[in-house]
């Protein structure tokens, strides 16, 4: 059993890594973003905050997370994706679950992240992700999915304004979290860009 935390700026591809790792090690992927987005009963002011990229109150996230970590399916291990985002959350997490084994930090230059997010377009049907700003990720026809011919869409919160705000907050708040796990000797920093290289490096670390 392995319990992992993946820390990375928005657009670093931690969702992709999480999926690959879940498959290889049979782990459960717990994404705070998905947990929040899937709460259809969220009130309007919360939805508005998510849309604007404002960080959500820690207590709401703890509640969602506590419920999720109480489920039986995490017994084989899990990957926490997008959490903890600040020191308060890191400390609070210790009260919910003690046995975090490894913390992986994906380091990516800001301009690279900006292109990945601003150009991101997603198939409304099969969920395949393309990018209009990155040559090898462009769809053959502008707004149409190569795989299923459905319409491609931008996510509502993938704007430059939201990106800048998220990135600045991210840098300011993440540093203390990295220090926190460094002291516990659980932190591994990876500064590679290719997703297969990153994946191989994580596999090496987990060994
Ligand atoms: Zn598609």
* Domains of the chain, each with CATH number or no CATH: 2-108+161-206 (3.40.50.300)
Task: Report CA(124)–ligand 1 centroid distance (Å).
Answer: 7
Structure tokens at 184: 């516990």
Task: Report CA(129)–ligand 1 centroid distance (Å).
Answer: 9
Question: What is the four-CA torsion angle of 187, 192, 193, 198, rounded to 10 degrees?
Answer: -70
DSSP, collapsed to helix, strand or coil, labels residue 132 as: coil
Q: What tens digit of pLDDT does each residue of 93-137 get?
A: 999 988 899 999 999 999 999 999 999 999 999 999 999 999 999
DSSP, collapsed to helix, strand or coil, labels residue 188 as: strand
Percent of the chain with pLDDT over 70: 96
pTM: 0.76
Task: Report CA(151)–ligand 1 centroid distance (Å).
Answer: 8
Question: What is the four-CA torsion angle of 71, 75, 80, 81, rounded to 10 degrees?
Answer: -80
Structure tokens at 204: 């090496």
How crowded is the C-beta side of 164, counted as CA atoms within 13 Å?
2
């Amino acid at each position: 059993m392995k319990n992992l935390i993946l820390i990375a700026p928005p657009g670093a591809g931690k969702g992709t890594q999480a999926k690959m790792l879940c498959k290889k090690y049979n782990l459960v992927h717990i994404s705070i973003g998905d947990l929040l987005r899937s709460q259809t009963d969220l009130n309007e002011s919360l939805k508005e905050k998510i849309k604007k990229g404002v960080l959500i109150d820690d207590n709401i996230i703890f509640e969602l997370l506590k419920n999720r970590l109480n489920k039986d399916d995490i017994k084989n291990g899990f990957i926490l994706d997008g959490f903890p985002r600040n020191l308060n959350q890191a400390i609070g997490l210790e009260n919910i679950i003690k046995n975090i084994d490894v913390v992986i930090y994906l380091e990516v230059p800001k301009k690279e992240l900006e292109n990945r997010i601003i150009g991101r377009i997603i198939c409304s049907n099969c969920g395949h992700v393309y990018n209009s700003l990155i040559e090898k990720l462009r769809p053959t026809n502008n707004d149409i999915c190569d795989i299923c011919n459905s319409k491609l869409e931008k996510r509502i919160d993938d704007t430059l304004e939201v990106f800048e705000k998220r990135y600045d907050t991210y840098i300011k708040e993440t540093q203390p979290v990295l220090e926190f796990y460094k002291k516990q000797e659980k932190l591994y920093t990876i500064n590679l860009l290719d997703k297969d290289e990153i994946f191989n490096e994580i596999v090496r670390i987990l060994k």
